[in-house]
Amino acid sequence: MRFGIIGTAGIARKALIPAIERTEHTVDAIASRDESRARSMADEFDIPRAFGSYEALVAAPELDAVYNPLPNGRHAEWTKRAADEGLHVLCEKPLTADADEAVSVVEYCRDAGVTLLEGFMYRYHPRTERAVELVEAELEGVHAVNASFKFRLDGRPDDVRLDPSLAGGALMDVGCYAVSAARLFLGEPDRVYARTRDSRGAGVDTDLMGILEYDDGAMAHVDGSFDAPEVQRYRVEAENGWVEAQPAFNVAADAPATLEYAIDGEADTETFEPVDQYAEQVTAVAECVDSGAEPRTGGQEAIANMRVIDALYESAERGAPVAVE
């Protein structure tokens, strides 16, 4: 597949472009609203075409798909614009600014006949697949998940992640991973309760802590933060054991990953050889395009995750539990 990159975001330089280059697929074009930035990155990665507008990229011939790493508040528009041109879309998480917008984007891509995949790359790491296998096959009476993604966002007061008009905030940027992991292991919650803090006076949450409650008594604790030393972790608790991953989400392509667990009194640690989970995600896009299958992190999954995120924000605003619609 021939990919175009919408924008020159850091994640494209650090992760996605190198990941595509590790596969049989190619990056054939990149765009920025500042053409000199697009040309600079094109030169850095030997990308054949550079454009000074997103419009020019999505209209360019001989592309099959785009990667959309724009700020959260611009995901919907440019995912739809790409779909208008028949381009498949790998969109960074979260897919949209809220669940209603997610529904609109998913339906739009479906009607356009294009594949849409939300970029939760950790879901494509073999360790995550193994964790799911253990939880489903070996753990009994799973009743709790603790999931966290925190880091310090220092020295960048103009960072788009602090801009409320672009759907910034810690929950949207990293807490969404914790929500995704809780749902992966426990399913869809019935209600949530959350508290937030805005330590920068930016108009977005820089800390969020939330509880996901289930009618069967299970619960999950999720949090995301821009104000803490880095933590990436999930731990699944059951009556006969537990499963834990750390760092859980952003694993370097050249680093091994471990999965710790104890089941029926027997503890073990499995080590996974280095793998580029972003490359695995790119491969998944192509495979779903070829087969017509729904991606592991496809549209319906994105909508479900956004419904929980919306409920967490509503709960924090109201100071009361909120049902997940």
Is position 93 annotated as part of the catalytic site?
Answer: yes
Angstrom distance (rounded) from CA 248 to CA 131: 11
- Please give the backbone phi and psi of residue 7, each rounded to the nearest 5 degrees, phi first: 105, 170
Q: Apex CA 298: angle with CA 175 and CA 177, to 5°?
A: 10
Measured from the Cβ of residue 129, the count of other Cβ atoms closer than 10 Å reads: 14
Which candidate in 14, 80, 93, 150 is catalytic?
93
Residue keyed to tokens 């925190």: 150
Tell me the H-state helices in 73-189. 75-84, 99-112, 126-137, 170, 176-186
Angstrom distance (rounded) from CA 121 to CA 230: 18
Angstrom distance (rounded) from CA 20 to CA 324: 36
**Residues recognised as catalytic:** 93
